[in-house]
Structure 1
Amino acid sequence: MSTSTLPAGTFVEPGRGSGLLDVVRQRFLLKLLVRKDLRVRYRGSVLGMLWSYVKPAVQFVVYYFAVGVFLQMNRAVDNFAVYLFAGIVVVNFFGEAFGNATRAIVGNNALVKKIYLPRELFSVSALWVAFIHFIPQLVVLVIGALLTGWSPSLVQLGAGLLGFVILAIFSLGLGLVFGAVNVMFRDAENIVDLLLMVATWASPVLYQWTAVRAVVGDSWVWTVYQLNPLTPIVELFHYCFWAPTNGAQYVGVPNLGTWVGLAALISVLTLVLGEWVFRRLDGRFAQEL
């Protein structure tokens, strides 16, 4: 009877894979996880994917009347509805991607304990589900912008695309960090809920950046405010969707290109940190769950 030997490197120690690169190689598994997440979320639901329209619509109406009508921001900002919704879609995507990625490992504990697969798949699938829900909101935003005379240039469209790429990287990076830590300490979920609660107010979604600059001036508070990646990302969306509408009096943030570059750098560093933390704790997930 003959025996055969396998070449060195055929077997890979669990938890010692290639991280996010394994997600790219196993796109079919990612597709299955995304389908599973969507089915579980809308199981027994009457409206199903229509909730992707209902939730942001209710959120928009509440903010529009509370801030736009009662606080009269619709008089201070031309086409305030487009301005507001351009910021809301950013915060909604960030909140869903970050929040779901934080709960991804714990929520899939049965799979984590039974079989080995790149655990980053769960975090990336949360990002994809958030993207699927982002599309209907983007469609509504585009329709609303078109009704107000939206006529963007290629540069403005590119700014919107750049903003979304930075947003996705930043959301995934934070999701990897808190998703891994959440396995060890469930307090991470509460911390994330607090961060998401202030995210809408920590960036120029309900107000203009000029209101912040008028109060804090060119102080360290302004620097910290701009170093929040969501702030330049929201401004990129305003530049893409609100600035090209009729009557919009767009005033660009001073040195916006610099702040966008710093936001991109912070987002990439966050993703690198997230992958490092995730892989350091990956080997303990099954036993902790």
Structure 2
Amino acid sequence: MSDLANREFSAPGRGRGLKDALNNRYLLKLLVDKEIQVRYRGSVLGIVWSYIKPAVQFLVFYLALGIFLGLEKGLHNYSVYLFSGIIVINFFSECFSNGARAFVVNGALIKKIYLPRQLFSLSTIWVGIIHFLPQILVLIVACLFVGWTPDLKQIAAIIVGILLIMLFGLAAGMIFGVANVFFRDSENLVDMFLMMATWLSPVMYSWTMVAREVKFPYIEQIYMSNPLSVAVELFHYAFWQPTLSPEQQLGLLNEGNWHMFPHLLTVWVPIAFAVSLVLLLIGNFFFRKFEGNFAQEL
């Protein structure tokens, strides 16, 4: 009886955050399977849409920006440059938007039973990976056709970029996922931020254009402090740069277009991971603080 009296009890409906989620990998697998089945229920093409959406995006942006506005003339192998950025944005959009809606969409489960609720956030990351893999395979095949010869550092940059997107997407999705439980306007903010992310990251243009066109103190440092910009540049470094000839790389270097590339892995990647980790801690804090009210609000 004395042991029971001295035992610490946790508040009902509250867990240990990410620790509980990581310890329930079987439940995570079930949630991922559920998300995939629900998404493609009644669909004829199924996961083939993972190829169609980025292909249509690429064609639209390539025609509008590469051909009509002439960006293809300023960047060698602009098609590789563009597509490598598009799949980064698509991966982040998948993680962020689904993460922001994860708790509301799974409200029926949250109200009926208790399970580690951050499993819903983690499941959106794995669903995002499932849709991301076909896109990156298409990119690799396309790069091989234009002479892609990466070194080990560039292959490592791909892995680092994927991990960065996962961490940043999880953090942003968790923050807005908690907010969305209490304020449904958060979904509209997510859509707006995703639209801004597409244009405020160096996906369709060279990031050095920002320094040339925007006369604002420390604009380069502010721009590159965005983890999404760093992730896009990691993919450019890993996929686009190896497709250029030594003469093309030297020409770009002489023009001053790559004066921050030497610091990409040593300076900006650690900063991007630090920013993402801080956001994840903030998201986890708000989750732990408000998850006890999820069932009531939903």
Does the pair score TM above 0.5?
yes
For residue 122 of structure 2, the aligned residue among 114, 121, 124 is 124
Corresponding residue for residue 167 of structure 1: 165
Corresponding residue for residue 176 of structure 1: 174
Contact 1:94 1:171 in 2 (8 A): yes
Report the AA paired with residue 111 of structure 1. Answer: L
Q: Normalized against structure 2, the TM-score is what? A: 0.91
- CA-CA distance at 1:171 after TM superposition: 0.6
In structure 2, distance between residues paired with 1:9 and 1:37: 38
- CA-CA distance at 1:233 after TM superposition: 1.2
Corresponding residue for residue 275 of structure 2: 266
Corresponding residue for residue 42 of structure 2: 44
**Deviation string for 1:40-94 (max 9, x for gaps)?**
1000000001000011110111011111111111111111111001100110011
Contact 1:98 1:174 in 2 (8 A): yes
- CA-CA distance at 1:226 after TM superposition: 1.5
**Deviation string for 1:151-206 (max 9, x for gaps)?**
10000111121111111101100111100110000011111111001111111000
- CA-CA distance at 1:8 after TM superposition: 7.3
In structure 1, distance between residues paired with 2:165 and 2:232: 9
Contact 1:14 1:116 in 2 (8 A): no
- CA-CA distance at 1:6 after TM superposition: 7.7
In structure 2, distance between residues paired with 1:7 and 1:66: 70
In structure 2, distance between residues paired with 1:183 and 1:94: 21
1:73 aligns with 2:82: no
In structure 2, distance between residues paired with 1:284 and 1:167: 29
Gaps of 5+ in 1: none
Please give the residue correspondences for 1:104-253 in structure 2 after superposition, counting only pairs within 5 Å.
104-216=102-214, 219-247=217-245, 249=249, 251-253=257-259
Report the AA paired with residue 59 of structure 2. Answer: V
Q: Normalized against structure 1, the TM-score is what? A: 0.94
**Deviation string for 1:233-288 (max 9, x for gaps)?**
11111000110013353643523332222111001111111111111110010000
1:280 aligns with 2:289: yes
Aligned length: 286
Find the residue that maps to 1:233 and give its secondary structure: helix
Gaps of 5+ in 2: none
Judged with a 3 Å threshold, the aligned counterparts in structure 2 of structure 1 residues 285 and 232 are, in CA distance, closer, same or farther, namely: same
Corresponding residue for residue 33 of structure 1: 31
In structure 1, distance between residues paired with 2:7 and 2:145: 59
Report the AA paired with residue 252 of structure 1. Answer: W
In structure 2, distance between residues paired with 1:253 and 1:42: 45
Judged with a 3 Å threshold, the aligned counterparts in structure 2 of structure 1 residues 116 and 8 are, in CA distance, closer, same or farther, namely: farther
Report the AA paired with residue 129 of structure 1. Answer: V
Find the residue that maps to 2:199 and give its secondary structure: coil
- CA-CA distance at 1:229 after TM superposition: 1.2
Q: Considering only aligned residues, what root-mean-square deviation do their CA atoms show, in Å?
A: 1.9
Which structure has the highest helix share of the two?
Answer: 2
